[in-house]
Structure 1
Amino acid sequence: MPSDLAKKKAAKKKEAAKARQRPKKSEEVNGDGEQPEIQENGADSNGVGSLTKELDEFELRKTEARAVTGVLASHPNSTDVHISSLSLTFHGQELLADTSLELNSGRRYGLIGLNGTGNCLARTSVCLKAKSKQLVMLRFFALVGKSMLLSAIGHREIPIPEHIDIYHLTREMAPSDKTALQCVMEVDEQRIMLEKEAERLAHEDSECEKLMELYERLEELDADKAEMRASRILHGLGFSATMQQKKLKDFSGGWRMRVALARALFIKPFMLLLDEPTNHLDLDACVWLEEELKSFKRILVLISHSQDFLNGVCTNIIHLHQRKLKYYTGNYDQYVKTRAELEENQMKRFNWEQDQIAHMKNYIARFGHGSAKLARQAQSKEKTLQKMVASGLTERVVNDKTLSFYFPPCGKIPPPVIMVQNVSFKYSDNTPHIYKNLEFGIDLDTRVALVGPNGAGKSTLLKLLMGELLPTDGMIRKHSHVKIGRYHQHLTEQLELDLSPLEYMMKCFPEIKEKEEMRKIIGRYGLTGKQQVSPIRNLSDGQKCRVCFAWLAWQNPHMLFLDEPTNHLDIETIDALAEAINEFEGGMMLVSHDFRLIQQVAQEIWVCENQTITKWKSGILGYKEHLKSKIEKQ
């Protein structure tokens, strides 16, 4: 007779085989966003053959490495999902243990918890030969913790009823000859599924309300209304009418991610799973998306590093902490307040219990062998103590690990540090001007956030000030001793991946001779222990960003130019970055889609728009209200 273990393995293999054939109801991607440029004709932008098969095989390996157990506690026909006794392991690492998943229709959940809650595992490298005989390394890895939970839900490894359709968005649309508008409107598979479900429910009198909702969704997907809805969504995410007719293969990965997001919003699944949906968006698109999602009527679960976005969208917060899912009513700010109150009460209870235990133990030790009367009292206290322990003692509050960044003192430089005189710029003679006749100065007191629509020239301005681009007209004068440190979202690509963070930093800063001294420096940016000596290619995206911040800081710049520094950072790390910026004695210019970071560090708001720069008179929240009013008018 086969053992229970053998039976389980056989059942798992059988389920994996079914998964290969099962039509996907969710879309997946590697966690670091390094999705290969897959073309419809089987070739990508690097000349590599179609990677669809390799992606599917990797996804299968990732799924097979994951073990999920749980019991459906809600009614099979319910629109709410309650899973009890939920456990999730990945390569034997326990991420969730005997917890519950509760997702109710009409609620919008923010899933939070420290990045790397379960560490970063299962990195796989795939080598493929291009036609040019070059080797292209495609790194895929699974982020565990929050992202792993979303992935398990999206792949239906958790027993979610079949009538609840799921859309898990993490992959940008593959390059193709289809236009952005066509890709959003391609919902035939979704329509067929909804029609089948409507046909099933038509025979059940008790499901009238659910049937009406399905008919409403089918009406939204109707061809007569589809184009107008798809166009409105794309416009909200920054696509002009011309861009909507542009072929997908002509867009960058970030813009194709926006198309995938538009498709998810167009389909309106019953359960929508979003992992960092604002990473590729500018402030305008973030505000539009926030307004769009706050009216989502079904089940939304999102992971985001933006507290402001979580506040605007979420009705509930799920906190992944110590392998349990803890639930809070309200948005992120309400969660912070409620959690602080609960932890304060917990610590009061813990301290009271510990005082009682210490008092009883002391009494037992002193009088346990005394007179008969005192001995009986000591025995009574011992029994009371045993009952307290047996019934379960209150645990000490375990605080999340805190992180602190640091930018070393840079010294003083007399103003003006950088002077911009009558500067105009355009990329070529055939393109319109990005800027015309700019006039301003910046110094070590400058704390500016650059805002404005995508393509208005925010990153271009930083490149002009750095000297990476030259003005078409005019002049930019810089102090002869000024050092500028620029952080941008592609900085991690410049790291030497075969070196460890320690080796890389020792190489970049040879004046620091002692390894222990460098270890302390790197440790300030949240990289500790084995992370410091592992190859950089084995680090998560968030950890690579921390290497970049360490490298940036120890150049000892006078000015910080930060272009989207919050991508791949968790909320706690962003707060640590904000604190370090505020303590920095030099100047700063910031481009970010994170309203809260801007509010924390910027003293001025400059709007880049219509070929010029204008100073916004009120704060960043006033600018957000301005964007909201623009959306309402449109």
Structure 2
Amino acid sequence: MPSDLAKKKAQKKKEAAKARNRPKKADELDGEGDGEAAEGHTNGTDSVMDGLCKHIDECELKKAEFRATTGVLSSHPNSTDVHISSMSLTFHGQELLSDTTLELNSGRRYGLIGLNGTGKSMLLSSIGMREVPIPEHIDIYHLTREMSPSEKTALQCVMEVDEQRIMLEKEAERLASEDSECEKLMVLYERLEELDADKAAVRASRILHGLGFTAAMQNQKLKDFSGGWRMRVALARALFIKPFMLLLDEPTNHLDLDACVWLEEELKTFKRILVLISHSQDFLNGVCTNIMHLNQRKLKYYTGNYDQYMKTREELEENQMKRFNWEQDQITHMKNYIARFGHGSAKLARQAQSKEKTLQKMVASGLTEKVVSDKTLSFSFPACGTIPPPVIMVQNVSFRYSDNSPHIYKNLEFGIDLDTRVALVGPNGAGKSTLLKLLMGELLPTDGMIRKNSHVKIGRYHQHLTEQLELDLSPLDYMMKCYPDFKEREEMRKIIGRYGLTGKQQTSPIENLSDGQKCRVSFAWLAMQNPHLLFLDEPTNHLDIETIDALADAINDFEGGTMLVSHDFRLIQQVAQEIWVCEKQTITKWNRDILAYKEHLKSNIEKQQHDI
């Protein structure tokens, strides 16, 4: 039973909550709902469910039409943990999950991993849209897409939590009137204090600052931001609200290394339920307390971060294979004995019958399955031949977008050859992607000159390359259309197969593929250009960990040069021989490795937070 002191504290906070729960004024209601499609925030009350369609974008709703999810809540309805048994999930008739268990415990941060196309994002969507029986008192925020353009500022969008506050206050009143669940009530009051208007502006500003927004940008209208920055605003809202269950699908995709480091530090203190899909081993190591592995239509659970998962899984699989081999040896021995002595003397025949019964019992009790390894990929970029250096010369180059805008770069001097292996790092807006566009010739220098060998072919991979795919075509038809001189369809199938797209995936419409599978189509398209230089701008977005490792191997085996922009510390560590920092209108070589650069960013963040 709660103590008298706890009851008094709860009653006092209940009265404060009632005072805050007032009708909205007309001017507060005016324009309400701008940008709501960015949120996937739901709870079990009818009022919020009635407006669910406003919070889920049309693409998610379309997917839901082809999705079927079943499961039985096996935890107590008032529990803060979620245990759902006999869970199944199908999409377009394809079974993604079959008779498995979903276990999400309060206070745990789960990394959801698995190969591209196994259904990770689909599982998150089915949870976010409450297609499985999540208890009503557990509110969910599923970050699905960027905020819609509007006249509101970034800061205003983050602070718009009236609906969330009212929902929490109603739940607190209900629990207080029942005079029970005191611990849960304290949690609700703690969250209400976090959303209090007096503290809200400071918290919202701190979160936006951590995600790269300057003070001026925080007061800039959403309609003036790109989709990537509006995605950051949606992420800031999710962090600001602190729902009981937070679902994040590749939250680092639109972030630079600085913001990735800040987000890692922020999420590692999340106290409720976090489910995170990420391709970054480094990020999973820093944030997660548990790993959920989606494999062969089942969810398997491991304690610890990604490195601990890999160690535990390796040990379990080694023991499993030992058990499997022992059982197979026993079965072979017994079968041979039965075949040899089953019709011999009475004594030998009895022994053979005994072994046959033992064999039947082993089979009936269930034999150990053979370990099935994850599919391994082997990316490759074709041999490009040699070009005499220098391949590209940058001479005294300066650049700015207009006469009235500040310089992005001033007086750059460097060369690129076929042995170049460079990672470009630095904050958003410093000009990493701009530099690649200058080298490609998509932008022209304001001053200076960029000289390129007349024979050089450059292959550029960027975040929007998948948007150029023709979604109604299959990967095979798309590649044959892009390269009409290539007549052998079977040979093209082999090429696409190297990038992990096999069987029906090659002949189904591209629109039915996962985001990661679409990226693989783009890589196959890029390799067919036979480039001398690879310019890779955030190539890891939507790829699974196994594909990123295959990409790293392909880059290391590539004969040509590579310039890489990435927020994936591990990929940079695997392939980069040099690290160039783009900052303050120039490029500076970092003389230590990328992990030392990460520690440098961490110390800067700690210093900034101390100054605040």
Aligned twin of 1:626: 600
1:28 maps to a residue whose letter is: I
Using the TM superposition, give the Cα deviation of residue 438 of structure 1 relative to its aligned residue in structure 2, in angstroms.
Answer: 0.6
The answer as to 2:109 corresponding to 1:108 is yes
> Counterpart of 2:598 in 1: which secondary structure?
helix
Where does 1:596-611 land on structure 2 (aligned, <5 Å)?
596-611=570-585
Distance between the aligned counterparts of 1:537 and 1:197, measured in 2? Answer: 41
Using the TM superposition, give the Cα deviation of residue 59 of structure 1 relative to its aligned residue in structure 2, in angstroms.
Answer: 5.0
Using the TM superposition, give the Cα deviation of residue 210 of structure 1 relative to its aligned residue in structure 2, in angstroms.
Answer: 2.0
Kept in 1, the 8 Å contact 2:425–2:582? The answer is yes
Kept in 1, the 8 Å contact 2:116–2:514? The answer is no
Using the TM superposition, give the Cα deviation of residue 251 of structure 1 relative to its aligned residue in structure 2, in angstroms.
Answer: 1.5
1:252 maps to a residue whose letter is: S
Distance between the aligned counterparts of 1:206 and 1:504, measured in 2? Answer: 61
Aligned twin of 1:182: 156
The answer as to 2:447 corresponding to 1:473 is yes
Using the TM superposition, give the Cα deviation of residue 109 of structure 1 relative to its aligned residue in structure 2, in angstroms.
Answer: 0.3
Kept in 2, the 8 Å contact 1:276–1:304? The answer is yes
Using the TM superposition, give the Cα deviation of residue 23 of structure 1 relative to its aligned residue in structure 2, in angstroms.
Answer: 3.8
1:445-486: per-residue Cα shift (whole Å, max 9, x none)? Answer: 110000000010000101111111111111111122221111
2:554 is matched with which residue: 580, 583, 587?
580
1:568-622: per-residue Cα shift (whole Å, max 9, x none)? Answer: 2111111110110001111100001111111111011100000000001111111
Kept in 2, the 8 Å contact 1:27–1:168? The answer is no
Distance between the aligned counterparts of 1:508 and 1:160, measured in 2? Answer: 46
Change (3 A) 1:625 1:27: farther
> Counterpart of 1:202 in 2: which secondary structure?
helix
The answer as to 2:95 corresponding to 1:94 is yes
Aligned twin of 1:559: 533
Change (3 A) 1:430 1:112: same
Change (3 A) 1:390 1:79: same
Kept in 2, the 8 Å contact 1:26–1:168? The answer is no
The answer as to 2:52 corresponding to 1:24 is yes
1:335 is matched with which residue: 306, 309, 319?
309
Aligned residues: 564
2:480 is matched with which residue: 489, 500, 506?
506
2:345 maps to a residue whose letter is: S
Distance between the aligned counterparts of 1:251 and 1:61, measured in 2? Answer: 27
Distance between the aligned counterparts of 1:306 and 1:570, measured in 2? Answer: 9
Using the TM superposition, give the Cα deviation of residue 537 of structure 1 relative to its aligned residue in structure 2, in angstroms.
Answer: 4.2
Change (3 A) 1:452 1:174: same
Identity %: 88
Change (3 A) 1:325 1:246: same
Change (3 A) 1:496 1:434: same
2:536 maps to a residue whose letter is: L
The answer as to 2:367 corresponding to 1:393 is yes
Aligned twin of 2:467: 493
1:161 maps to a residue whose letter is: P
Kept in 1, the 8 Å contact 2:116–2:517? The answer is no
1:222 is matched with which residue: 196, 210, 233?
196
Aligned twin of 1:78: 79
Using the TM superposition, give the Cα deviation of residue 61 of structure 1 relative to its aligned residue in structure 2, in angstroms.
Answer: 5.6
Kept in 2, the 8 Å contact 1:27–1:170? The answer is no
Distance between the aligned counterparts of 2:323 and 2:415, measured in 1? Answer: 57
Where does 1:204-223 land on structure 2 (aligned, <5 Å)?
204-223=178-197
Aligned twin of 2:415: 441
The answer as to 2:226 corresponding to 1:252 is yes
Distance between the aligned counterparts of 1:244 and 1:232, measured in 2? Answer: 10
Kept in 2, the 8 Å contact 1:485–1:560? The answer is yes
1:150 maps to a residue whose letter is: L
Aligned twin of 1:367: 341
CA RMSD of aligned residues (A): 2.0
Using the TM superposition, give the Cα deviation of residue 413 of structure 1 relative to its aligned residue in structure 2, in angstroms.
Answer: 1.9
Distance between the aligned counterparts of 1:411 and 1:60, measured in 2? Answer: 49
Distance between the aligned counterparts of 1:451 and 1:385, measured in 2? Answer: 61
Kept in 2, the 8 Å contact 1:27–1:169? The answer is no
1:502-521: per-residue Cα shift (whole Å, max 9, x none)? Answer: 33333444443322222222
Kept in 1, the 8 Å contact 2:535–2:564? The answer is yes
Kept in 2, the 8 Å contact 1:443–1:587? The answer is yes
Change (3 A) 1:506 1:68: closer
Aligned twin of 2:514: 540
Instruction: Between 591-600 and 513-522, report the one with greater CA deviation.
Output: 513-522
Distance between the aligned counterparts of 2:101 and 2:482, measured in 1? Answer: 48
2:527 maps to a residue whose letter is: A
Distance between the aligned counterparts of 2:357 and 2:261, measured in 1? Answer: 60
The answer as to 2:564 corresponding to 1:590 is yes
Aligned twin of 1:125: none
Distance between the aligned counterparts of 1:538 and 1:202, measured in 2? Answer: 48
1:296-335: per-residue Cα shift (whole Å, max 9, x none)? Answer: 0111001111111111100000111112111000101111
1:300 is matched with which residue: 254, 274, 285?
274
Distance between the aligned counterparts of 2:92 and 2:441, measured in 1? Answer: 48
Instruction: Between 504-513 and 174-183, report the one with greater CA deviation.
Output: 504-513
2:141 is matched with which residue: 167, 187, 192?
167
Kept in 1, the 8 Å contact 2:87–2:98? The answer is yes
> Counterpart of 1:201 in 2: which secondary structure?
helix
Distance between the aligned counterparts of 1:66 and 1:539, measured in 2? Answer: 14
Distance between the aligned counterparts of 2:126 and 2:307, measured in 1? Answer: 28
The answer as to 2:603 corresponding to 1:616 is no
1:30-67: per-residue Cα shift (whole Å, max 9, x none)? Answer: xxxxxxxxxxxxxxxxxxxxxxxxx3xx6556445433
> Counterpart of 2:589 in 1: which secondary structure?
strand
> Counterpart of 1:203 in 2: which secondary structure?
helix
Distance between the aligned counterparts of 1:194 and 1:495, measured in 2? Answer: 44
Using the TM superposition, give the Cα deviation of residue 186 of structure 1 relative to its aligned residue in structure 2, in angstroms.
Answer: 0.4
Where does 1:258-337 land on structure 2 (aligned, <5 Å)?
258-337=232-311
Kept in 2, the 8 Å contact 1:27–1:171? The answer is no
List, as ranges, runs of 4+ consecutive aligned residues in structure 1 with deviation greater than 6 Å.
Answer: none
Distance between the aligned counterparts of 2:296 and 2:247, measured in 1? Answer: 22
Kept in 2, the 8 Å contact 1:559–1:586? The answer is yes
Instruction: Between 358-367 and 238-247, report the one with greater CA deviation.
Output: 238-247
Using the TM superposition, give the Cα deviation of residue 533 of structure 1 relative to its aligned residue in structure 2, in angstroms.
Answer: 3.2
Change (3 A) 1:341 1:474: same
The answer as to 2:387 corresponding to 1:419 is no
Kept in 2, the 8 Å contact 1:179–1:247? The answer is yes
Kept in 2, the 8 Å contact 1:485–1:561? The answer is yes
Kept in 2, the 8 Å contact 1:27–1:167? The answer is no
1:559 maps to a residue whose letter is: L
Distance between the aligned counterparts of 2:523 and 2:121, measured in 1? Answer: 24
Using the TM superposition, give the Cα deviation of residue 497 of structure 1 relative to its aligned residue in structure 2, in angstroms.
Answer: 4.2
> Counterpart of 1:429 in 2: which secondary structure?
coil
> Counterpart of 1:357 in 2: which secondary structure?
helix
The answer as to 2:407 corresponding to 1:406 is no
With normalisation by structure 1, the TM-score equals 0.86
Aligned twin of 2:70: 69
Distance between the aligned counterparts of 1:475 and 1:377, measured in 2? Answer: 89
Instruction: Between 156-165 and 198-207, report the one with greater CA deviation.
Output: 198-207
1:324 maps to a residue whose letter is: K
1:593 maps to a residue whose letter is: H
Kept in 1, the 8 Å contact 2:147–2:233? The answer is yes
